[in-house]
Structure 1
Amino acid sequence: MSRFYFGDDSRSASSDNDNEDEDDPSSLPFATPLRRSDFLDSEFSPATYLSTLHNRHQTLEDLRSELRSRSQLLSKELLDLVNSNYQDFLNLGNSLHGGEEKVEEVRVGLLGFRKDVDSLVGVVGEREEEVGELLQERRDTREKIELGRRLVDYDARLKELETELMIETAGHETIILGEEVSDSEDDEEEEEEEEGYGVSIVKLRRNVVHYQLVLGLQKDLGEHPFVAAQAARTAKVRSTLLMDLSTALQQAKSAGASGSGRVMKVTKIYADMEESAEAVKVLKTLKSS
């Protein structure tokens, strides 16, 4: 086993013969035992202590062995100390007097602090519930406002359609709301071609578009009491539209070959209104008559 030796500077600067003597452990002086007082220093540091042993003539393995023996000796002394004073350790708690008042003061202080914390937790919990209720109330109010706007829009569009169809609405003012369906160049040409016909294709198409918008709003609103109360009005609008379409289809059929294109346009409006079955019924009636 290789060995490590601590040497001072004078020995490191010696001759080759001296170095050969140092390689022989028997030629080294016997190392003195480690002093016990060195380990009792309050600022004891293992690394610092080992650095002070650079001039110690001793192998590293021997130093480790000596330190290990020192540690075992200290452990044994500590065990002997505990065993010899075991009864005193047990009686130590009974021999302490005069600290009950301090302990009671600390205990009372802790109880008061805990009570304060519990009261603060209760206050925070109440504030949290209040904030939650206010936020929910705010969300409900926003939803009601949005619903009110949609109901107003629905009613206004329905009134607009009733005005276009010249349906009497006693006790109601007509409100025009929403985008107007602008007439395109094709619509203007159709209006020029509709001379001699009592019902305008352009107006029919516009009214059906408005009717589909009303039905879309009605579907979005669902089973709202206000929407349910307008069932008679929407039914009147539908029947009036179907009546106008029926009249337009009869006029187109009575025109013969020149009205065939108009017949196709009217049936297309029926399809847009999702009332193709009504168009078939009218055509069958006209064919049988």
Structure 2
Amino acid sequence: MSKFFIDSTSQSADTTPAHVGSPSFGSDDEDTLPYPAELARNDFLSPNFDAQEYLSSLRNRHQTLEDLRSDLRGRSQLLNRELLDLVNGNYEEFLSLGGGLKGGEEKVEGVTVGLLGFQREVETIRKAVQERARETGDLLQEKKGLRKEVVLGRALLEVNEKLEELEERLGIKSKDEEDDEEDDEDEDDDDEASSAAGNSVYAGTLRRLGKQSEQYLSIVRQCDRIGTGHPFLVSLQPRIDEVRKTIILDLSASLRQAKSLDDKRAVLGLTQVFAAVNAENDALRVLKGS
């Protein structure tokens, strides 16, 4: 407590007692000064409270710095106690809130049951969507497989059609004997025209044999692309071998004729066709006369 506090029940041993609340302006009697008023609580509640500015406004309180510090310290402790009481009071009210609700537990239980049911429905839908996605993926894979099968089937049919056409041209398998006879007559006409032009079989026969060899090689390449191990191609292999054998026989007969006529141009052209069908050894045997 400040030494400037006026005590109404006691007197100083060295001075004459003064009336309570009556100030004395003697320079030697400081106990006659009034005690400063209590710091106003509202001053600290201002939204724009500034500590420096507030302390500057207390310069006319006629109070020592130590007493001012003591007042402010007491005010701070009081505010801390009030804040603690406020927090404790609100916390107790918060804890008692659940107990004060009527039927709250039943409502929470109902909401929980509803959420669990909704969760089960969502899980069911999710599983159905996943199953449908798997079915769709399987169908897409099946569609891709069917498309590949269709492409493969068309390729196999094309090989068979080319083979049948070549067989007909070579006379191995004919659909119409009259057509074959007409083709033979056309070829004989070509040979006669070639002989008349220069006594050479190169112009007609070589062109025909070269075209047949190209058709044979086209069939072989297509079989390689598909895969020679395919069962359908395996079944066609004897026919393909027969086509090659027939082409080599025709080439050998033409090469003998060109050799007998000493037609070097025809011999060169025919040996090139032999090489195209990998029959160089057959050409050598013909040229050696064996």
CA contact (8 A) 2:194 2:200 kept: no
Residue 254 to residue 106, structure 1, CA distance change in 2 (3 Å):
same
1:211, CA displacement in angstroms?
0.5
Count how many residue pairs are aligned between Structure 1 and Structure 2.
218
Residue 138 of structure 1 and its aligned partner are, at CA, apart by: 1.3
Number of the residue aligned with 1:26: none
TM-score normalised over the length of structure 2: 0.62
**238, 252, 269: which one aligns with 1:232:** 238
| Residue of structure 2 equivalent to 1:7 | none
Residue of 241, 257, 260 corresponding to 1:254: 260
Q: How does 1:48-63 map to 2 (within 5 A)?
A: 49=48, 58=53
The one-letter amino acid paired with 2:123 is D
Find out whether 1:138 has 2:133 as its counterpart.
Answer: no
Answer yes or no: is the 8 Å Cα contact 1:190–1:201 preserved in 2: no
Contact 2:159 2:223 in 1 (8 A): yes
Whichever residue aligns with residue 256 of structure 2, its letter is Q
CA RMSD of aligned residues (A): 4.1
- Offset, 1:123: 1.6
2:168 maps to 1:153: no
CA deviations 1:125-176 (Å, max 9, x no partner) are 1211221122112111111111111011100001111111110269xxx9xx
Match of 2:122 among 117, 124, 137: 117
Q: Distance in 1 between matches of 2:128 and 2:112?
A: 25
Give the whole-Å Cα distance in 1 for the aligned partners of 2:83 and 2:137. 64
Partner of 1:274: 278
Amino acid paired to 2:172: I
- Residues 252 and 263, structure 1, Cα contact 8 Å, conserved in 2: yes
Q: Is the 8 A contact 2:195 2:201 kept in 1?
A: no
Query: Counterpart in 1 of 2:170?
Result: 165
Greater displacement, 194-203 / 226-235 = 194-203
Cα offset for 1:249? 1.1
Report how far residue 231 of structure 1 moved: 0.9
Q: Please tell me the residue identity of whatever aligns with 2:255.
A: L
From the CA coordinates, give the structure whose radius of gyration is larger.
2
Runs of 5+ consecutive residues of structure 2 not aligned to the other structure: 1-39, 58-72, 180-192
Distance 2:85 2:199 in 1: 128
Instruction: Normalising by structure 1, report the TM-score.
Output: 0.62
Q: Structure 1: how far apart are the matches of 2:171 and 2:199?
A: 21
Contact 1:191 1:200 in 2 (8 A): no
3-state SS of 1:168 partner: coil
Partner of 1:107: 112
Contact 1:194/1:200 (<8 A) preserved:
no
Residue segments in structure 1 that go unaligned for 5+ positions in a row: 1-31, 40-48, 63-68, 175-188
Query: Would the alpha carbon gap of residues 269 and 85 (structure 1) be closer, same or farther in structure 2, given more than 3 Å must change?
Result: closer
Letter of the structure 1 residue corresponding to residue 135 of structure 2? E
